[in-house]
Amino acid sequence: MANEVLDETPRGNLAGFTRYLKQDIISGFLVFLIALPLCLGISLACGYPPIAGIFTAIIGSILATFLSNSELTIKGPAAGLIVIAIGCIEDFGGNGMTGGWDASDLTAYKAALAVGVAAAVLQVLFGFFRAGILGEFFPISAVHGMLAAIGIIIILKQFPVALGVSAGGEPLEMLKEIPHYIAEANPAIAAIGIVSMLIMFLWPFAGSKVSLLKKIPSAMVVLLVAVPMGMGFDLLHEHSYVLQGHQYQLGEQYLVKMPDRVFGMFDDITTPDFTALSQMKAWKWVLMFFIIGSLESLLSAKAIDLLDPWKRKTNMDRDMIAVGVGNLCASWVGGLPMISEIVRSKANIDNGARTRFADLWHGLFLLACVAMIPMVLHKIPLAALAAMLVYTGYRLAHPTEFIHVWRIGKEQLAIFVTTLVVVLATDLLIGVAAGIFLKIVFHVANGVPIKSLFKPFIDVEEVDDNTSKIIAHQSAVFSNWIPFKRQIEDIGLVQRRNLIVDVSDTKLVDHSVMEKFDEVKRDFEQEGLSFEVRGLDTLQPLADSAHAARKQGLAHARRLTVTADATRSKELVDRFIQCGATGYTAVPCVGAGRKELQNGPEEVAQVRIEVIAAQQVCDDIMDLLRQDSIADHDVTICVESVDVLRLGDFSPTASPLPQNAH
């Protein structure tokens, strides 16, 4: 698809349904292969019956196709909500099915469904009142820290399942118990789990070497290996075996529980117990499902818009209504909460989907599979599903996330890690609140006035008939971004005017707003308008990243002073410009070095060249001088740190000049 000329924008209407039927069916089928095991695994990890995730994916795919205008997102259960779902189940007395399905699990399940219905109503209202923009409030580093913490919790919760061990407890407690889980592992089940994990982690590398393998989902490969292993261990029948003097049990408790007849899935429809909402603790989980689920869904939909080859833009309010209605229906019949799911949506794009009907087809394939062959799905080992979720958790908490945040700024890493640790120690809402609080503390320490934390101070000027200018004062930070963005959209996208935003009079422009400026620029370009941010060169970045926060103050630069033979003046100046110098001062002078003094006082004609440059340019000039000058010529070099008002004035903005440049 990368080589295709995108001369027409596919639309999810009747014409699009027929025109792109082939592409959407193929993509829907391939996404179905990924979604099937993940829906089952996520359900079990949440403490819901396995069929619950299938209900959600089917309902989401049908309703969202017609309610949302998001063309390429896949709606369904997501790993990011596992922590909330299992927390809700356990708070209402369930054990997450770790000890089998009993009356207490059913009671907790029905209570969680009622919580899901209440959260869905809030999501629908959220969309109707056009509050989708509230997703813009949360600072990016805190959100990433939350997702990384969710990934770690998923790993800790699913690793024992992959070993055939029943376990539960708080994340930090389970972390200490890992050696015990390994010691207590059921070897047969652990073999399935470890082989499945190896496939999940190694398959991407195999796909990078053999292009044909890249088309085969790793989750499907796991099933093709794990199901025969389970049959080899005869997990369909209760029995025991002895290994090194220890007796281990095997049986159907290590397999996915599914209906035992065709169309038996409809027997598993379960309705909510709304009496649970009379308990105060239920509303804590309502807020958790509502806030975290809505935030994840909005972020995923925005991410997929950026990946859409046709750059179609999702109406976030309409998409939130679609997710809310889908959650309302799913929770009413026994399903998990749903969001716009990022992994399956990315696969949808990679598989060549054109319209939202690919989501519909993936749901119809799920419906046909679970309705017609549930007995086959019953043969899937739980350890294989747990291994898939361990890999999913690893991707959420990937080590490169820490490196990426570090490069954006040390303060961003502090927010990221604080959110992560507090989530692990307490819960999601407290963790995110801790990250937000720390970010506000950093903003105040960087000079942001308290009064501008939640209210932008801006002036609007008319530049010409087609262009307006917004002048921002005091700060442009995550907490005052929502009213700031509304003003930008009203002037630019509603009134159809080009826009300039001047931030030179601000104390701080934070990392979240730096990234959102890029998003706004893309929105303007899609509408045929221009969007420009001015004044960033007067603010000093807190790190080398283009999205690093910028604050008012002097920037650090380097002053490089080179003294050399006067005949080399033009050569050295030309080479310095090639390295990126934006200016220089050359002063003729006379002097003597050690050699001249040893031979007697003898003055020679020299030139003193001074360059002020950014660190990288200075390093490049030093490397050049080490290679070409010092060994063969008498050159004196001095480097010192200086503070400048605009570092951008000393950074190269064009390609290096040719060698004969003047």
* 330-343 pLDDT per residue, tens: 999 999 999 999 88
Examine the pLDDT at 20 and tell me if it is beyond 90. yes
**Token duo for residue 502:** 């001047």
Alpha-helical runs (H) found in 239-341: 280-307, 316-333
Domain boundary among 551, 579, 607: 551
Examine the pLDDT at 78 and tell me if it is beyond 50. yes
- My answer on whether 458 and 499 are in the same domain is yes
Mean per-residue pLDDT, 267-274 = 95
Number of structural domains in the chain: 3
Q: What is the pLDDT of residue 559?
A: 93
- My answer on whether 547 and 567 are in the same domain is no
Model confidence at 29, pLDDT cuts 50, 70, 90, reads very high
Mean per-residue pLDDT, 7-27 = 89
**For residues 294 and 644, which has the higher predicted lDDT (pLDDT)?**
294
Q: How far apart are CA 71 and CA 224, in angstroms?
A: 31
Q: Are strands 539-541 and 467-476 parallel, antiparallel or unpaired?
A: unpaired
Q: What is the pLDDT of residue 202?
A: 95
Q: Is 415 part of a structural domain of the chain?
A: no
Examine the pLDDT at 98 and tell me if it is beyond 70. no
CB 591, CB 659: distance < 8 Å: no
- My answer on whether 546 and 562 are in the same domain is no
Name the one residue in this structure whose structure tokens are 């195999």.
Answer: 206
Q: What is the pLDDT of residue 557?
A: 86
Q: What is the pLDDT of residue 471?
A: 96
Q: Is 414 part of a structural domain of the chain?
A: no
Model confidence at 396, pLDDT cuts 50, 70, 90, reads very high
- My answer on whether 234 and 142 are in the same domain is yes
Q: How far apart are CA 123 and CA 328, in angstroms?
A: 9
Q: Is 254 part of a structural domain of the chain?
A: yes
- My answer on whether 27 and 150 are in the same domain is yes
pLDDT per residue as tens digits for the range 130-141: 877 777 888 999
Mean per-residue pLDDT, 272-282 = 97
What domain range includes position 478?
A: 450-551
Mean per-residue pLDDT, 316-321 = 93
Model confidence at 654, pLDDT cuts 50, 70, 90, reads very low
CATH number at residue 594: 3.30.70.120
**Token duo for residue 130:** 């056009």
Examine the pLDDT at 224 and tell me if it is beyond 60. yes
Q: What is the pLDDT of residue 461?
A: 94
Domain boundary among 382, 399, 416: 399
Q: Is 417 part of a structural domain of the chain?
A: no
Q: What is the pLDDT of residue 229?
A: 97
CATH number at residue 502: 3.30.750.24
Least confident span in 112-126, 175-189, 409-423, 598-612: 598-612
- My answer on whether 201 and 236 are in the same domain is yes
Examine the pLDDT at 220 and tell me if it is beyond 70. yes
Q: How far apart are CA 328 and CA 335, in angstroms?
A: 9
Mean per-residue pLDDT, 369-396 = 94
- My answer on whether 268 and 376 are in the same domain is yes
Examine the pLDDT at 159 and tell me if it is beyond 60. yes
Q: Helix or strand or coil: residue 112?
A: helix
Kindly report the average pLDDT of the chain as a whole number. Answer: 90
- My answer on whether 483 and 614 are in the same domain is no
Q: What is the pLDDT of residue 645?
A: 77
Q: Is 416 part of a structural domain of the chain?
A: no
Q: Is 132 part of a structural domain of the chain?
A: yes
- My answer on whether 103 and 200 are in the same domain is yes
Burial (CB < 10 A; 0-12, 13-18, 19+), residue 287, is middle
- My answer on whether 520 and 560 are in the same domain is no
Q: What is the pLDDT of residue 506?
A: 95
Model confidence at 177, pLDDT cuts 50, 70, 90, reads very high
Intra-chain end-to-end CA distance of the chain, in Å: 47
- My answer on whether 270 and 129 are in the same domain is yes
- My answer on whether 517 and 589 are in the same domain is no
Q: What is the pLDDT of residue 3?
A: 43
**Cα separations in angstroms, 528 against 70, 492, 518:** 21, 11, 15
Q: Is 95 part of a structural domain of the chain?
A: yes
C-beta atoms surrounding 7 within 10 Å: 5
Q: What is the pLDDT of residue 633?
A: 64
Model confidence at 602, pLDDT cuts 50, 70, 90, reads confident
Examine the pLDDT at 5 and tell me if it is beyond 50. no
